[in-house]
Amino acid sequence: MSTADLADMVGGGEVLVLTGAGLSTDSGIPDYRGPGSPPRTPMTFQEFIASAGNRQRYWARSHVGWARMGGAEPNAGHFAIAELERRGLLAGLITQNVDGLHQRAGHEDVIDLHGRIDRVVCLDCGTHSGRAALQERLDDLNPRWSAQDVVLAPDGDVLLEDTGAFVVADCERCGGRLKPDVVFFGESVAKDLVAHCFALTEGARALLVLGSSLHVMSGLRFVRRAAAIGTPVAIVNRGSTRGDSLADVRLDAGCTPTLEALLAGLPAGLSSADAGGSSRAGSPARS
């Protein structure tokens, strides 16, 4: 398969895009399962709520990671997808990433399937707040902690063993347990959000997967649904994915160069109206 096959699919419009960590690696954010990625054992939700010590370990590492991940910038792949939206060729965008880079690239209709790392939620009273404000509080409680020289891991984590001196901040409203507003391993995506994504899948003319190994069911289920109803599926990813047997177009390649080539292969200014279709991006976005 080639980018020309991909251009034929995308040029018809009404394409639902599903993105994963492989899209953000060119922004300096590591992925979990890309070629050459070391094995990772992320903290599960059950571990996070089980003990104060586990939460201390999580926040100590995440505090350092946020100081680096928070400065990541969208790459050319993010901007290319935003351009496809601008041209009216997309039926929507579902991202498994929590970095918010699609929005920073100017994309307007984004479904953050696994939440956003730049938001925080209290597990006890449900209050939502911004991560930047929490970062300032943690800096005050732990001077110079974020200045440590560490290796960045996926989703803003870092490789850091000695966390026993870290002081965790509690909810300012109730004194409860704070957690990033993201779906941890072991948690489930909200049922209404899943239902909305299935509706987008069933209404799209094609499904394009970018930078995901589809290792977890939260993304794979949409590929399976598309294939089951006869919707063409294209997958662009370095390395194999769990959806390869369902793909009509499969490119073992990086997302950024593929998307740049895709845009170059589309007629300048091509929109869904030019392609004879109509965008279904009017579905309510969940972000």
Do 154 and 236 lie in one domain? The reply is no
Structural domain count, the chain: 2
Considering the entire predicted model, what is its pTM?
A: 0.88
Catalytic residues: 114
| Cβ–Cβ under 8 Å, residues 204 and 231 | yes
* Contact residues for 185 (Cβ-Cβ < 8 A; gap 6+): 42, 43, 44, 45
Do 12 and 79 lie in one domain? The reply is yes
Query: For residue 41, is it within any domain?
Result: no
Say whether 242 counts as a known binding-site residue. Answer: no
Taking the CA atoms of residue 93, residue 95, residue 98 and residue 103 in that order, the dihedral angle to the nearest 10 degrees is -20
Host domain of residue 145: 46-71+120-182
- Given 154, 182, 210, the domain boundary residue is 182
Say whether 240 counts as a known binding-site residue. Answer: no
Do 59 and 143 lie in one domain? The reply is yes
Residue 101 and residue 112: Cα distance in Å, rounded?
Answer: 11
Do 283 and 232 lie in one domain? The reply is yes
pLDDT digits (tens, 9 = 90+) for 51-91: 999 999 999 988 888 877 778 899 999 999 999 999 999 99
Say whether 197 counts as a known binding-site residue. Answer: no
pLDDT digits (tens, 9 = 90+) for 28-60: 887 765 555 555 678 899 999 999 999 999 999
pLDDT digits (tens, 9 = 90+) for 147-197: 666 666 655 666 666 777 999 999 999 999 999 999 998 999 999 999 999
Do 201 and 284 lie in one domain? The reply is yes
Say whether 98 counts as a known binding-site residue. Answer: yes
